[in-house]
Amino acid sequence: MSQTHSMTQSNQVNSKEKQKKNAIQLIIEIFAVIVCSIFFLVPFYFIIVNAMKNSADAAQLSIAWPTEFRIWENIVEVIQARDYMLLTAFFNSTVITVVSIVILIFVGSMAAFVLHRRVSKLSKTLSGLFLAGLMIPPAVVPTIWVLEQFGIFKSFTGIILVEAAIQIPFTILLYTGFIAAIPKEIDEAAIIDGTGGLQLFTKIIFPMLKPVHSTVIILNAVTIFNDFVHPLYFFPGSENATVQLTLYNFMSMFNTDWNLLFANVLLITIPPFILFLFFSEKIVSGMAAGAVKG
């Protein structure tokens, strides 16, 4: 009886310690969520509030509630600024983003498949170069010189190739992790059945990469659509403006229309925010699948 009683007391102590640890973990998690929410929501609130204000109130750059609501007037003025440049910018950014993603999906998946399946010194060297591309920034002046030599500087072709080249290392890394989970026996069985290399990839391997396709599309779409630096260098000109470059419409050396600037920021933030909000689960599932299976 005494032994049973002591075991019961021990179980109760362990249960209390476990409940205490769970309570502490829950408190830490709640605190982390609150901190992350503050870091995310406060800047977003700051943008929305100042986009609602008139020019004088917005110039104070405060989080105070507006004395005069001008959100609709500010949005209309932003859209009409410089002969509806924002609409042109949305078109340019959409074209660049969509075409770049198409290139990344096909080229990235093919390159990842070849690099993983054909193990050799050359493939290892190329893999190392792609990994280096994640850390080495593009050289602006030499890139401009190359684009000029091919006659594609200040063109959609040039900026699309630049965006695709910058994102290709990360894209290949995502695809490689997932392709590593696909058994090589599938390739061998298809080859025995008379399937060629291109058919093997397009008809068998490529459809199996759907989870990674979603991740590649969403992450690269947000990155390319929000890119500011590369269109500024490689796609200059008012007719070539992208959404991020329209911020210059309301900034100058001597004056800045903060209410219009924040209204512009709000408009160009909404599309990628909606995309990320609705497809965030696919991003996580795609990256997790590649990591776990790889």
Using alpha carbons only, what angle is made at residue 90 by residues 47 and 280, rounded to the nearest 5 degrees?
A: 65
What is each CA distance from 45 to 39, 40, 51, 55, in whole angstroms? 11, 9, 10, 18
pLDDT of residue 205 exceeding 70: yes
Q: Which of 90-99, 112-121, 175-184, 266-275 has the highest mean pLDDT?
A: 90-99
**pLDDT > 90: percent of the chain:** 29
Q: Give the per-residue pLDDT at 14.
A: 65
Average confidence (pLDDT) over 192-219 = 83
Name the one residue in this structure whose structure tokens are 């290399």: 197
Q: How far apart are CA 243 and CA 93, in angstroms?
A: 6
- Residue 72 CA to its chain's centroid (Å): 29
The full length of the chain comes to 294
Q: How far apart are CA 219 and CA 41, in angstroms?
A: 21
- Residue 94 CA to its chain's centroid (Å): 14
pTM for the structure as a whole: 0.81
Amino acid identity for residue 280 in this structure: S
pLDDT of residue 293 exceeding 50: no
Q: Give the per-residue pLDDT at 12.
A: 61
The pLDDT tens digits for 112-171 are: 888 888 777 777 787 777 777 777 878 888 999 999 999 999 999 999 999 999 999 999
Confidence of residue 4 (pLDDT cuts 50, 70, 90): low
The tokens for 133 are 């591309």
Q: Give the per-residue pLDDT at 280.
A: 65
Confidence of residue 184 (pLDDT cuts 50, 70, 90): confident
- What is the chain's mean pLDDT, rounded? 83
Confidence of residue 294 (pLDDT cuts 50, 70, 90): very low
Q: Give the per-residue pLDDT at 114.
A: 86
Q: How far apart are CA 212 and CA 288, in angstroms?
A: 10
Q: Give the per-residue pLDDT at 9.
A: 59
Confidence of residue 82 (pLDDT cuts 50, 70, 90): confident
pLDDT of residue 21 exceeding 50: yes
Average confidence (pLDDT) over 253-259 = 79
pLDDT of residue 65 exceeding 60: yes
pLDDT of residue 7 exceeding 60: no
Q: Give the per-residue pLDDT at 130.
A: 78
More confident residue, 275 or 74: 74
Confidence of residue 185 (pLDDT cuts 50, 70, 90): confident
Q: Give the per-residue pLDDT at 94.
A: 93
